[in-house]
Chains A and B, each alone.
Chain A
């Protein structure tokens, strides 16, 4: 028996547009099931990664596998659904006609009432696509994405243009969909959305994977505060044993200590070690800082 293929697997994937390395050596595998956030600042390579997974773009190097095949195969077999950032709808058609059409393209679609319910579209069924608000159009795009009951649902910045209430309902719909054993990958630059709606968070920055874990793990590795100082050639042994320290990273002679209690760590650094501490800095403390720390130019 073959093992169940992963929802998707990127191996050393790079995508260059001229000199711009939109994706620059990305390797990540996702087992089937659950909600995965692709979190990163604007320009981090999220949309390019989404395009690669959907077969809308081809990798410059590396391999992209989706549900055990190429992205094109997975899309052609109706196993992938996607909500793109800028997909306009045909203005002359009603919401019901659009959803019905896309639904009909898939081998085993969701029942129409279930789609309308997930996307909260009931009252809009007879409306033409022309003249919908931005948030309403987003909900229609979500309906088109889930219509075919895809095993992998890919959402690129799905809540842009939605108001607070729409967002709440949207995430309810997304979680209901993912609860059925399907995989949902959503790209976002909102930390809060990733934290609240994902089982796993992939943080990307400058086309690379900066962190990968549950929201709790991401906060633990990147959270807390950062104590940095110039270590030079001195030995790093014992730094991780200092009080409060959760992780130690040495790069180019600079030590970066993540700590729950910078005061305690700093005090111990001076009093409990014989190190010469130069250029000491303390930073961070919020979730936003954690995110910035993970995605910052290093």
Chain B
């Protein structure tokens, strides 16, 4: 039952033009633009900027996708009556939230893989198989808190409010976290704020992997903490949104 619901969620998103363009196409285009401008330079660690930006854009695409694949559709379904339609089938409430999150998490992968593929094929980013696996694995699993955040927004907001709020939240996370402008270009205060933000800990797992340091435990724990906290809030918000009067 859960599997067929996840399949349905993925199928419908793959047919959604908005998802295909914004969720998959946009991060790839931004990456190619950035990489071609800065590609030949290197960071302090001796990592090429094309690799560094590849991780940034993969992380940005994942955060953007995680939020937009959940918040808008979920808010819309609550308002349109699709939710009660599901509630009168044997599909249980927990399956709906788990299914939506699993579907959204799966849909984060295509843009991430495309950005990595573009890095390897067009920008000469060269990593070991183990590094590639660690990079994709960390960025994929690490997207859970952002999927949960999108579910929270979708549970609390009406369809007309959810789009702008999601966009602003996404931009805030991505910019403050140093995904668009590296933290090394920030002032000291801004940088310490950036390094405490969830998107930084998340992307830093990837930056560390390509610098040959593996996934830092502190980043992994911080991301897991965000996942637990936002996951709990997502469940509470979901229950509030689906409460039977």
A residues contacting B by CB (< 8 A) are 17, 54-58, 75-78, 80-82, 84, 86-90, 92-93, 97, 101-102, 104-107, 141, 144, 148
CA distance A84 to B83 in the complex (A): 11
Between A and B, how many residue pairs show CB distances below 8 Å? 74
**B1-42 vs A: 1/0 string, CB under 8 Å?**
100110010011101100000000000000000000000000
CA distance A206 to B11 in the complex (A): 44
Closest residue on chain B to residue A50 by CB atoms:
B88
Is B4 a contact of A104 with CB atoms below 8 Å? Answer: yes
Q: With a CB–CB cut-off of 8 A, which chain A residues contact B8? A: 90, 93, 97, 101
B133 in the interface (beta carbon within 8 A):
no
Is B91 a contact of A55 with CB atoms below 8 Å? Answer: no
CA distance A89 to B76 in the complex (A): 11
Q: A104-B4, A106-B90 are in contact. Are A89 and B82 (CB under 8 A)?
A: yes
Is A148 a contact of B89 with CB atoms below 8 Å? Answer: yes
Of B12, B81, B89, B244, the residue contacting A102 (CB under 8 A) is: B89
Of B12, B80, B92, the residue contacting A88 (CB under 8 A) is: B80
Q: A75-B89, A88-B80 are in contact. Are A58 and B11 (CB under 8 A)?
A: no
Of A56, A78, A105, the residue contacting B244 (CB under 8 A) is: A56
Is B87 a contact of A56 with CB atoms below 8 Å? Answer: yes
The secondary-structure label for the interface of chain A is: loop
Of B82, B84, B88, B90, the residue contacting A90 (CB under 8 A) is: B82
> How far apart are B104's CB and chain A's nearest CB, in angstroms?
15
CA distance A57 to B88 in the complex (A): 11
Is A87 a contact of B81 with CB atoms below 8 Å? Answer: yes
Of A55, A84, A92, the residue contacting B81 (CB under 8 A) is: A84
* Chain B 62-116 residues near chain A, CB threshold 8 A: 80-82, 84-85, 87-92
Instruction: Give 8 nearest A-B pairs by CB, closest first.
Output: A88-B80, A87-B85, A92-B15, A82-B88, A92-B12, A87-B81, A78-B90, A86-B81
Of A17, A56, A87, the residue contacting B82 (CB under 8 A) is: A87
CA distance A97 to B4 in the complex (A): 11
> How far apart are B5's CB and chain A's nearest CB, in angstroms?
8
> How far apart are A164's CB and chain B's nearest CB, in angstroms?
26
B168 in the interface (beta carbon within 8 A):
no
Is B92 a contact of A80 with CB atoms below 8 Å? Answer: no
Q: With a CB–CB cut-off of 8 A, which chain B residues contact A89? A: 82, 85
> How far apart are A109's CB and chain B's nearest CB, in angstroms?
11
Is A76 a contact of B11 with CB atoms below 8 Å? Answer: no
Of B4, B15, B84, the residue contacting A56 (CB under 8 A) is: B84
> How far apart are A131's CB and chain B's nearest CB, in angstroms?
14
> How far apart are A31's CB and chain B's nearest CB, in angstroms?
22
Is B11 a contact of A144 with CB atoms below 8 Å? Answer: no
CA distance A86 to B80 in the complex (A): 7
Closest residue on chain A to residue B243 by CB atoms:
A58
Closest residue on chain A to residue B80 by CB atoms:
A88
B217 in the interface (beta carbon within 8 A):
no
> How far apart are A58's CB and chain B's nearest CB, in angstroms?
5
Q: With a CB–CB cut-off of 8 A, which chain A residues contact B90? A: 75-78, 105-107, 148
B188 in the interface (beta carbon within 8 A):
no
Q: A93-B11, A97-B11, A106-B89 are in contact. Are A84 and B245 (CB under 8 A)?
A: no
Is A57 a contact of B89 with CB atoms below 8 Å? Answer: no
Q: With a CB–CB cut-off of 8 A, which chain A residues contact B5? A: 101
Closest residue on chain A to residue B19 by CB atoms:
A92
CA distance A93 to B77 in the complex (A): 14
Q: A57-B245, A93-B8, A97-B11 are in contact. Are A105 and B89 (CB under 8 A)?
A: yes
